[in-house]
């Protein structure tokens, strides 16, 4: 796929990007979505796209942040390489810095232990709403945070996100989205008396 145009516009949720290819048009302010649409050839740029994709798969948020951070690491490394420092030495000290940063985060971390089930659900909803603030649906983050929390609680500790499916149907408003516990099938036929069926 060859990307013909990338345009940015300032929407209500921040900087929206319009990515136009030969066959489709996508509008998003989600870094991972944009990275997936780009046909990147340069090896360093492809590495940045892979970093964003991994971040999206593991965490689901922070793709733009990790891409910018990795870009800054590459910029700093370029100056060191131009001074004649071997790349293995640079990587060694990046790993050492990573270890020190992790230790510092552990020192700063505060343990959160909810007292009851209601407090646990409220905490999960707040975490989900924070993650949704950077997405296109940030205006509806409270609505979707409750839905996401219900879905996660259905997994009962397994945390296999493949067990959660998202079915997109055209038409209707965002607020008409609903959480279905179990399995949902698209109705492909009608039969006599279907109006009385739940």
The predicted-structure confidence for 40-68, as pLDDT tens digits, reads as follows 888 888 888 888 888 888 877 788 888 88
- Give the Cα separation of 96 and 135 in Å (integer): 33
Mean of the pLDDT values across residues 129-140?
A: 76
Report how far apart, in Å, the C-alpha atoms of 182 and of each of 101, 148, 196 are. 42, 15, 21
More confident of the two residues 59 and 145: 145
- Give the Cα separation of 114 and 124 in Å (integer): 10
Tell me how crowded residue 119 is: count the other CB atoms within 10 A of its CB.
12
What is the pLDDT at residue 4?
42
Query: What is the pTM assigned to this prediction?
Result: 0.59
Per cent of the chain over pLDDT 90 is 19
| pLDDT at residue 189 tops 60 | yes
């Amino acid at each position: 796929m060859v990307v013909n145009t990338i345009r940015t516009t300032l929407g209500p949720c921040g900087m929206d990007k319009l990515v136009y290819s030969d066959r489709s048009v996508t509008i998003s302010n989600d870094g991972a979505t944009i990275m997936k649409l780009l046909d990147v050839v340069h090896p360093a740029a492809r590495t940045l796209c892979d970093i964003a994709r991994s971040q999206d798969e593991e965490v689901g948020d922070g793709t733009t942040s990790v891409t910018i951070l990795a870009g800054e690491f590459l910029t700093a490394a370029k100056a060191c390489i131009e001074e004649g420092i071997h790349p293995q030495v640079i990587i060694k000290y990046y790993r050492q810095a990573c270890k020190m940063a992790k230790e510092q985060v552990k020192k700063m971390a505060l343990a959160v232990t909810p007292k009851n089930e209601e407090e646990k659900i409220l905490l999960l909803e707040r975490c989900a709403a924070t993650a949704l603030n950077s997405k296109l649906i940030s205006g509806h983050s409270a609505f979707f945070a409750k839905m996401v929390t219900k879905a996660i609680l259905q997994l009962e500790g397994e945390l296999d996100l493949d067990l959660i499916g998202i079915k997109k149907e055209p038409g209707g408003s965002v607020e008409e989205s609903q959480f279905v516990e179990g399995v949902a099938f698209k109705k492909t036929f009608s039969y006599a008396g279907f109006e009385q069926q739940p």
